[in-house]
Amino acid sequence: MELLDKARELAIYTAYNTNVDAIVYLDGKTVQKLIDEFGAEAVRRKMDEYPRQIEEPIDFVARLVHALKTGKPMAVPLVNEELHSWFDSRFKYDVERMGGQAGIIANLLANLDFRKVLVYTPHLAKKQAEMFVPRPNLFYPVVEDGRLVFKHPREAYREGDPIKVNRIFEFRAGRTFKLGEERIEVPFSGRFIVSARFDSIRIYTEESLKKFLPIIGETVDGAILSGYQGIKLRYSDGKDANYYLKQAKEDIMLLKRHRNLKVHLEFASIQNRELRKKVIYNLFPLVDSVGMDESEIAHVLNALGYPKLSERIFTYNRIEDTVLGGKILIDEMNLEVLQIHTIYYIMYITHADNPLSEEELRKSLEMATTLAAARASLGDIRSPEDVKVGMKVSYNERGEYVKLRFEEAKRRLRTREYKVVIIPTRLVKNPVSTVGLGDTISAGAFTSYLAMLKEKGEL
Ligand code: AMP
């Protein structure tokens, strides 16, 4: 793929979030053992309470059984750090792999043979470091004797750093177990995520490295930043979300100090509305590019004061509403480019003066969906060769319909001041894994966008 070859000449910086995804393939027997341990009656009572976070093992068991009963994928934060050992004593993890957007994107770009990939994550325990692929183009910035040096992340770990482990319980339809007298059969396959939200995990750049951010900004062509959903409203030491968002703003400005490099922010859903709003208002105006999925744009519009439009996107998933929402977002936040990915299509919205033509923007999205299709087919992309698999995946069967509805929407909405392009996704029927596909789309879209800007002398 010619465009991928161009993108591979780039150097990219990515930060902040990494974690270890520990995966358990659940069987009925394991679930039964948990229920028997705590007693069906107690589990049922807890299920009625519906704990919003996990403080005790029974909170976990109750929410897990609830998820299994409904077959709905769910994620519940684990806030009690002491439960690590409880989980580790009860479960054997079938797979451990890199999680977190910055970690997933760093490994992806390194495997694709990008010229240089710099990854920064504020906590780098040995186990976390080992999740990085052993590629010579992957570096982690370290300050030694007041000087900036780059090492492979596996050589840069720090003993004693906290580690964030997200436990992912994958379940299959048809598994059965008993809750007292009630026989439960899992109706759909899915996953239950216990996401670690500990006080010790922070999103920031350590003080000694901060002053080198302008140099890092000069070294790379673009930065992909993510993980802001991990910021908490308050911490035990008195620091709060405002403190960390101020730091985050400084980081972006420091990266851009010597050179106006392009910054992409990958947005992930933030449950708390107050925090969501803070992230949008503080950070969107400072970045050039934002990526998100359809439900996230609905959340964002709600936070910006468009509850009706947000509700419509949630309920009807109409392309027309997404285009309208995208126009509002790039205008109010003055973004250079907004990328929205959904299961059936991917879209770019820019202002009309964007240096790339609509045809070029479309090519960039094409690369994005091809990478995602390759990852969905193979579970991971280990080399540029792997991308060929994605090119063989056909567009989803709603592709033609999507294009039609899009042309209709364009006629109805005023789009002359914008460039709006859309492509149907290449959709894999039985994906090996769906983790990280959104991140893959965004990394593919942003880097190919940069490659074309660079070719035109616009970067
Ligand atoms: P996110 O919601 O951010 O995790 O992004 C998921 C995206 O991955 C979707 O919007 C799709 O574009 C893409 N995707 C999901 N499932 C598949 C699949 N089976 N094959 C290819 N792409 C997929």
Tens of pLDDT, residues 151-194: 999 999 998 999 999 999 988 889 999 999 999 999 988 889 99
- The two tokens of residue 327 are 């126009």
Query: From start to end of 32-90, where are the E strands?
Result: 74-78
The confidence score (pLDDT) of residue 260 equals 87
Position in ligand 1 atom list of the atom nearest CA 268: 3
Q: Rounded distance, CA 64 to CA 180, Å?
A: 16
How many A from CA of 375 to the centre of ligand 1?
A: 10
Tens of pLDDT, residues 242-284: 999 999 999 999 999 999 899 999 999 887 889 999 999 999 9
The protein residue with its alpha carbon nearest to ligand 1, atom 3, reads 438
Q: Rounded distance, CA 297 to CA 352, Å?
A: 21
Q: Where in the chain is the domain with CATH 3.40.1190.20?
A: 2-18+100-161+199-455
The protein residue with its alpha carbon nearest to ligand 1, atom 6, reads 438
pTM of the model: 0.92
How many A from CA of 236 to the centre of ligand 1?
A: 37
The protein residue with its alpha carbon nearest to ligand 1, atom 4, reads 438
22-97+162-196 fold: Adenosine kinase, small domain (3.30.1110)
Burial (CB count within 10 angstroms: exposed 0-12, middle 13-18, buried 19+), residue 182? exposed
- Cβ atoms 165, 127 nearer than 8 A: no
Q: How many CB atoms sit inside 10 A of residue 14's CB?
A: 30
Q: Rounded distance, CA 277 to CA 340, Å?
A: 19
How many A from CA of 167 to the centre of ligand 1?
A: 21
- Residue at 130: amino acid letter: E
| DSSP structure string for 308-359 | HHHHHHHHH--HHHHHHHHHHHHHHHT-SEEEEE-SSEEEEEEETT-SS-HH
The three-class DSSP label of residue 395 is strand
The protein residue with its alpha carbon nearest to ligand 1, atom 11, reads 343
Q: Rounded distance, CA 91 to CA 37, Å?
A: 14
- The two tokens of residue 174 are 């048809």
Kindly name the residue from 221, 251, 288, 439 that is annotated as catalytic.
Answer: 439
Position in ligand 1 atom list of the atom nearest CA 373: 21
- Cβ atoms 151, 139 nearer than 8 A: yes
Position in ligand 1 atom list of the atom nearest CA 426: 21
The protein residue with its alpha carbon nearest to ligand 1, atom 5, reads 438
The fraction of the chain above a pLDDT of 90, given in percent, is: 84
How many A from CA of 427 to the centre of ligand 1?
A: 8
CA 156: distance to chain centroid? 24
Q: Where in the chain is the domain with CATH 3.30.1110.20?
A: 22-97+162-196
How many A from CA of 457 to the centre of ligand 1?
A: 32
The three-class DSSP label of residue 168 is strand
- The pocket around ligand 1, CB under 6 angstroms, is made up of 293, 341-343, 372-373, 376, 425, 427-428, 431, 434, 437-438, 441
Which helix (H) or strand (E) segment is 131 a member of? Answer: none
- Cβ atoms 418, 327 nearer than 8 A: yes
Position in ligand 1 atom list of the atom nearest CA 431: 19
Of the candidates 455, 449, 445, 443, the residue with the CA atom closest to the CA atom of residue 102? 443
The protein residue with its alpha carbon nearest to ligand 1, atom 15, reads 343
The confidence score (pLDDT) of residue 81 equals 84
How many A from CA of 50 to the centre of ligand 1?
A: 29
Q: Which CATH superfamily groups domain 2-18+100-161+199-455?
A: Ribokinase (3.40.1190.20)
How many A from CA of 39 to the centre of ligand 1?
A: 39
Of the candidates 164, 35, 155, the residue with the CA atom closest to the CA atom of residue 90? 35
The confidence score (pLDDT) of residue 430 equals 84
Low-confidence ranges of the chain (pLDDT < 50): none
Position in ligand 1 atom list of the atom nearest CA 344: 12
Q: How many CB atoms sit inside 10 A of residue 207's CB?
A: 9
Q: Rounded distance, CA 175 to CA 64, Å?
A: 14
Residue with tokens 């400005």: 253
The protein residue with its alpha carbon nearest to ligand 1, atom 10, reads 342
- Out of 394, 425, 428, give the residue to mutate to test ligand 1, the one with the largest number of ligand atoms within 8 Å of its CB: 425
Which helix (H) or strand (E) segment is 73 a member of? Answer: none
Angle at which helix 57-70 crosses helix 40-49, to 10 degrees, equals 80
- DSSP character for 188? S
- The two tokens of residue 372 are 């995602």
**Active-site residue, 59 included:** no
